[in-house]
Structure 1
Amino acid sequence: MGAIRKVQVTFDCAEPERVARFWCEVLGYVVPPAPEGFATWGDFDRSLPADRQGTAFACVDPTGEGPRLFFQRVPEGKVVKNRVHLDVRVGTGLVGEERLAVLEAECARLVALGAVRQRVLVADGFEESTIVMQDVEGNEFCLD
C-alpha cells in the first residue's frame, strides 16, 4: 500500500488573492502566516519582481485536515466547464426539504460573498438535491 500524501487543490485564475479570500469565507479556511522575515503577505509580495507580484495566493484549513488551496494567476480566462470541482458538503446526512433548506441558506450566504447560483439539481431517487454554483471567477462548485 502506498503512503498517504497530502494534496493541494490548485485554481487557475485572474486575481489569486480575491479568489483565495472568497474560498476562505466559504470553507472557514485562513491565510497562512507570511514567510519568515515578512510581517504580511503584502510585504512579501512587494519584495518580488514586478512581474511576479500578485501571481499567487493560498489558504489553508486551520485544523490541518483539509487540503491547501493554491491560486495562481494565468493569462487566459476561463473558457469551458471545470473538469474537477469542489463539493461543499453542507447537507451531509440530510434529505428532502430539510436538506434543501440548508443548501438554500448556504447558497444565500455565498451569493452575498459574490458566488453565482446556477441551478438546483433536485433529488431523483438516486442522488440527493445539490445546488450548482460558481465562485467569484466562474469556477463551478456544488453545495452538496
Structure 2
Amino acid sequence: MNSSYPRALLHRRMGALLYDILCITALILLVGVFFFIINGGEEITAEDVVLRQVMRVFIVLTPIAYFLFFWMRDAHTTGMRAWRLRIQRLDGTPITGTIALIRLGFAIISWIPLGLGYWWVFVSPTRLSWHDRLSGTEIIQLPKQEKKKKP
C-alpha cells in the first residue's frame, strides 16, 4: 500500500511545526493554570518541591502527548492538517504507538546538532530526515481538496 503522494518539503514541515508549537504552548499554559488553581491561586514557590516536580512532568509530557495523540488518531497534527501533511510508514501503512515514540525520540535528537537531522532532507535523494529514516516513517504532501461547485 505505497503512497503515490510526494514526500513533504522542509518548508512545509517547518510551517506545520510552527503551528504545532503554538498549540503546544497554549496547552502548556493551560497546565500552568491548572496547577495555579490546584495551589489555591498562589504562586508555586521553591518550597513546593513536590508540586513543582509534578508540574514539570506534566509540562514535559504535554508535547509528547500532543504528537502521539494526533499521529495515532488520524496521522496528522493540527499543523500538519493545515499544511496538508500526513505521517505514515514507508510502506504507506499507519504508524503504531511504538513507531510514533521512536520517531519522536529521534526527532528530538535531529534538533540537537542545530537541526541537521531536519536539514538532511535537502541533501537526501529520498527527502527523508534522520528521524524519518531511523523510524521508518515519512511525511507526505496531500493534494489540495477541490472546492465543491454550488448547483
Query: Shared topology, TM-score over 0.5?
Result: no
Identify the structure with bigger relative contact order (alpha carbons < 8 Å, sequence gap 6+): 2
Structure ID, larger Rg: 2
